[in-house]
Chain A
Amino acid sequence: DAGVTQSPTHLIKTRGQQVTLRCSPKSGHDTVSWYQQALGQGPQFIFQYYEEEERQRGNFPDRFSGHQFPNYSSELNVNALLLGDSALYLCASSFSSGPNTGELFFGEGSRLTVL
């Protein structure tokens, strides 16, 4: 049973460019959440997708957007990259049958470096 898979694992961009990160959830999971982890800090919640819609969002600007596909996979898009967007981007999946269910399982992350 494959766990949460993310791609690419590493990428380097320059300021002002755009990036797309991809995530395939664990088999049987229908909810995908994205987190940003800066060096030396805990992950911060970006947003969560369920039934192809953004269900909730953290304190991130509109430059951060996402999408969920019918097969539950998800993309995170970041426009107009800033140096401060350099971080490890983590995808987590869970099965949601209500507001209080679903242990989260995380992928290995995508390491983004903005030069």
Chain B
Amino acid sequence: KQEVTQIPAALSVPEGENLVLNCSFTDSAIYNLQWFRQDPGKGLTSLLLIQSSQREQTSGRLNASLDKSSGRSTLYIAASQPGDSATYLCAASRSGGYNKLIFGAGTRLAVHP
């Protein structure tokens, strides 16, 4: 059974810092690893999707990596801004699982000026 854990649960940083959010999963037979952003009371916005054949994806100031052998993914945010404040969720889908996502509980990020 796939379990997804995110560390830390909460993070508060000053503007401009580079930061790393961690995601670990128990079942290495994943197909997709997807990172989302969620603003309070809102839906999920997809940030990055890494397929199992890939090791990383980049979009602007965001970079996500995937290491299936260690069961880990990291989301790197460069030069953080107050507008980055949100909850970040990672989710894994199992190979052959029709993209059913198993989510972590998220990391609540606060970037203060």
Contacts and interface: CB of A to CB of B under 8 A. Distances in A.
Interface of A: 4, 6, 31, 33, 35, 40-45, 48, 50, 55-56, 58, 88, 90, 92, 94, 96, 99-109, 111
Contact of B46 (A43, A44, A100, A104): A104
Contacts of A4: 43
A103 B99 CA distance: 8
Interface in B72-112: 89, 91, 95-106
Interface of B: 4, 31-32, 34, 36, 41-46, 49, 89, 91, 95-106
Contacts of A105: 46
6 contacts: A4-B43, A96-B99, A99-B97, A103-B49, A106-B36, A106-B43
Given A42-B89, A109-B43, A100 B100 contact: no
Contact of A43 (B32, B49, B98, B103): B103
B43 A99 contact: no
Contacts, number: 78
Contact of A48 (B42, B43, B98): B98
B80 to A, nearest CB: 22
A33 B89 CA distance: 17
A101 B106 CA distance: 24
Given A35-B101, A96-B99, 18 more contacts: A6-B43, A41-B105, A42-B89, A42-B105, A42-B106, A45-B101, A50-B98, A90-B44, A92-B44, A100-B96, A100-B98, A102-B99, A103-B49, A104-B101, A106-B36, A106-B43, A106-B44, A106-B45
Nearest to B36: A106
Contacts of B101: 33, 35, 43, 45, 92, 104
